[in-house]
């Protein structure tokens, strides 16, 4: 029960890594507040996670939506011990094909949203809290079509360092959790057809030294470690869970 009596926020937790992270946090004794954009998915996830969870609708690319979320948290008098900024946009596109609209959606979701969510929630974060930003092994490698996505994620690497320093007086530690290729529904968003998805999966597996994609539970277990007091001496760091992609 490494998160017993802790209140955890996980953004983008209606599927994939976020959902499994929410399950693991509950198993470890936490009460989990989670977000998603689709109200039906939130209700379905709420039923799956049970009474130790609370789902609230929020589009983290939209600051007005985040303001509404923050107001609800204030009204409920919730204070967080752990925040996992997991919601993100994984769009990939060849250089020369990007539109300004696509660019803005990625940076609004992956950088602007997280930055202002943390700023708005600052008074609702308990001392000694752990804030975990979702990075990507893409920031360490030159993967084709990942220019904008990787740029957005390396901005979070910077935030994990600068906010750790700037908010030392608040006793909040920030770290980056960077997954490698992981078998989640997000893979379908990168490819256009089932055949392309399978081809992409095989090509990605060939990039991973251990020749497989991560199971979401492996990323969730790393999240639990960073969220727990076991990691309380880890500040401003990056934890790579990528099967050796960045280092081998």
* Active site residue ranges: 149
By CB atoms closer than 10 A (0-12, 13-18, 19+), residue 99 is: exposed
Residue with tokens 């490494």: 2
Token pair, residue 4, equals: 């017993």
Number of H helices, E strands in the chain: 9, 7
Extended beta strands in 119-234, E state: 125-134, 173-179
DSSP secondary structure letter of residue 213: P
Rounded distance, CA 83 to CA 164, Å? 14
Helix H or strand E segment including 41? helix 39-49
Q: Give the SS3 label for residue 5.
A: coil
Angle, alpha carbons 6-220-24 (nearest 5°): 50
Name the 3-class secondary structure at 64.
Answer: helix
State the Cα–Cα distance between residues 172 and 235, nearest whole angstrom. 9
Whether the Cβ atoms of residue 90 and residue 190 lie closer than 8 Å to each other: yes
The neighbouring-strand residues paired with 175 are: 132
């Amino acid at each position: 029960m490494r998160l017993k009596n802790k209140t955890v926020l996980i953004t983008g937790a209606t599927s994939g890594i976020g959902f499994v992270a929410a399950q693991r946090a509950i198993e470890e004794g936490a009460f989990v507040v989670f977000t998603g954009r689709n109200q039906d998915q939130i209700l379905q996830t709420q039923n799956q996670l049970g009474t130790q969870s609370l789902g609230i609708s929020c589009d983290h690319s939209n600051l007005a939506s985040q303001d509404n979320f923050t107001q609800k948290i204030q009204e409920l008098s919730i204070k967080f011990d752990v925040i996992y900024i997991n919601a993100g946009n994984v769009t990939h596109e060849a250089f020369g094909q990007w539109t300004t609209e696509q660019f803005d959606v990625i940076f609004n979701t992956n950088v602007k949203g997280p930055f202002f969510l943390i700023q708005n929630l600052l008074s609702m974060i308990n001392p000694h809290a752990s804030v975990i930003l979702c990075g990507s092994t893409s920031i360490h490698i030159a993967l084709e079509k990942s220019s904008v996505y990787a740029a957005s994620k390396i901005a979070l690497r910077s935030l994990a360092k600068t906010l750790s320093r700037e908010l030392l007086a608040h006793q909040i530690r920030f770290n980056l959790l960077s997954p490698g290729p992981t078998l989640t529904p997000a893979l379908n968003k990168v490819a256009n057809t089932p055949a392309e998805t399978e081809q992409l999966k095989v090509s990605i597996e060939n990039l991973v030294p251990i020749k497989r994609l991560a199971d979401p539970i492996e990323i969730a277990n790393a999240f639990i470690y960073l969220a727990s007091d076991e990691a309380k001496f880890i500040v401003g760091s990056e934890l790579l869970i990528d099967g050796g992609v960045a280092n081998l």
